Amino acid sequence: MDQSHWQALRAQAERLARAPLPVDAARASEFALRVGPLYASFARQRLDAEARDTLFAMARAADLPTALRALFDGEMVNTSERRAALHTALRGGLGQSAAAREARALALAAQARMDALHAMLEASDVTDIVSVGIGGSDLGPRLAVDALRDFHAGRFRVHFLTNVDGSDAQHLLRGLDPARTAGILVSKSFGTQETLLNGTLLRDWMGGAERLFAVSANIECAEAFGIPAARVLPMWDWVGGRYSLWSAVGFSVQLAIGRERFAQLLAGAALVDEHVLTAPTERNLAAWHALVGIWNRNGLGLASAAVLPYDQRLALLPAFLQQLVMESLGKSVRHDGSPVLADTVPVLWGGAGTNAQHSFFQALHQGTETVPADFLGVVRPAHAHGHHHDVLLANLLAQAEALGNGWPSDDAHKGYPGGRPSTLLLLDELNPHSLGALLALYEHSVYVQSVLWGINAFDQWGVELGKRIAGELLPALSDATMPAGDPVTRALLAEIRARR
């Protein structure tokens, strides 16, 4: 991909920038795709067939099929860390290389160990599980446990302990019985400050590590912490934290929903994997989703994007996607270290509808920024309140239409400019299978965008500096003689020390 592709994209966008969003019935089918339980409509994007073909040409220039094959086959797509990213091997055997086959075998063996520990816990007195982890070791399991609340097996209550803010632990543990609680320390590195501090607090509260489990690639450190290898489930350097829900990182999810339903979650992701790997770009849902993202960011120059699930069970989806998308695509240099040729990730944010309609939707409708949105809806509810669900769906459809078409008014305060693009993702119902499919779609969309931008979606060097400085500042919080920080930080440290 060279400058000419980005120029062609911008030329298309200039042509379409001020035109009203096209609305016609043909578009509704031409700009829509279905994969299993997922239906996606891109009909409300500011995009016509000519612009779409420019995007397809970019995907061809980036040789998308080869890039996808490289991902599934475990090639070194994480170049700065010289690693593969084989999360697809955790849920299926589509990789053809020896590395992918070996990863698949390791994933199946880990699943068998997970099942054995699951059975052991089921046979015990344990009623509550506390999963300790942060970032990718928390957000996916937390989302899945919350989103699949209608599918909980009921054997265990599953809780999450994340923030190093001690009030998180204090509030959680207050309601639990240490004799009936098991903990899972989820940390790929087993070196994350927050997780180790919370793990230590949990271990002390439980009176020892007897009912502690770990999920980690660092067995030695887990053992040094007091958790024997037999209770450490594996992680590997070929799975990134934010792509790890499908591994033993999802142990808490399996404990919540049971073995079969966890398998359905993986099967939903595998269904999308197969589609993404085999469908031509023109019919490939992840490619469409990614190309629309590129269009909004690089064609139309829109710097933020919203995720708006119209389902309370998906309320944590925006937080999960913030890590998946922004940690993966928040990069300014390409694989070879040279600057990117186009802007990368937009700021991603969002919240559940209809609640969000009564807070930030005002800005979406009449603010000066255009924010492209992914609306998500679920066709069949998991409750008996049919009218509630109709109201929810009516609001979902209404908001997309209002943002897109706007409404003129003689009163400047009451007019809606419209022209605000959105994608609509509909799930037939929200269950383990469709959730797996949805999350895999976003994973692949992220990868496709990274391929077009030429960046590494699997490293996160940008989180390291703050961690290092925090380590240097820690002693200075209580000891004024410790040299730390710049003059502004030193003044703030003095202010804090004076008021402790």
- Choose between 187 and 445: whose C-beta lies nearer to ligand F6P: 187
From the candidates 385, 388, 414, 467, give the one annotated as an active-site residue.
467
Binding segment toward ligand F6P, per CB under 6 A, in 71-79, 87-95, 130-138, 253-261: 130-138
The tokens for 340 are 């990117």
- Contact status: 460 vs ligand F6P (CB under 6 A): yes
- Choose between 45 and 195: whose C-beta lies nearer to ligand F6P: 195
Please report the DSSP string for 297-341 in residue order. IIIS---EEEEEESSGGGTTHHHHHIIIIIIHH--SB-TTSPBPS
CB of 193 to ligand F6P, least distance (A): 9
Contacts 24+ apart (CB under 8 A), 121-126: 121/156, 121/182, 121/255, 122/155, 124/182, 124/211, 125/179, 125/180, 126/156, 126/180, 126/181, 126/182, 126/211
Three-state helix/strand/coil letters over 234-245: ECCCCCCHHHCC
- Contact status: 68 vs ligand F6P (CB under 6 A): no
- Choose between 132 and 392: whose C-beta lies nearer to ligand F6P: 132
Query: Do the bridges between strand 38-41 and strand 422-429 make them parallel or antiparallel, or are there none, so unpaired?
Result: antiparallel
DSSP H or E segment with residue 439: helix 432-453
Restricted to residues 322-381, the positions that interact with ligand F6P (CB under 6 A) are: 327
Gap between the Cα atoms of 132 and 120, Å rounded? 20
Binding segment toward ligand F6P, per CB under 6 A, in 34-42, 117-125, 183-191, 395-403: 183-191
Gap between the Cα atoms of 108 and 106, Å rounded? 5
Per-residue burial over 136-155, b if 16 or more Cβ lie within 10 Å, else e, is bbbbbbbbbbbbbeebbeee
* Sign of the torsion angle spanned by Cα atoms 396, 399, 405, 410: positive
- Contact status: 195 vs ligand F6P (CB under 6 A): yes
Gap between the Cα atoms of 452 and 342, Å rounded? 10
CB of 464 to ligand F6P, least distance (A): 8
- Contact status: 134 vs ligand F6P (CB under 6 A): yes
- Choose between 35 and 85: whose C-beta lies nearer to ligand F6P: 85
- Choose between 192 and 344: whose C-beta lies nearer to ligand F6P: 192
Is 414 designated active site?
Answer: no
Is 429 designated active site?
Answer: no
Is 467 designated active site?
Answer: yes
Gap between the Cα atoms of 46 and 465, Å rounded? 39
From the candidates 118, 159, 275, 327, give the one annotated as an active-site residue.
327
Instruction: Name which position in 141, 183, 241, 432 contacts ligand F6P (CB under 6 A).
Output: 241
- Choose between 456 and 460: whose C-beta lies nearer to ligand F6P: 460
Shortest Cβ contact with ligand F6P: which residue? 241
CB of 195 to ligand F6P, least distance (A): 5
Instruction: Name which position in 105, 379, 463, 470 contacts ligand F6P (CB under 6 A).
Output: 463
Indicate which residues carry an active-site annotation. Answer: 327, 358, 467
The footprint of ligand F6P (CB under 6 A) covers: 134-137, 187-189, 192, 195, 241-242, 327, 460, 463
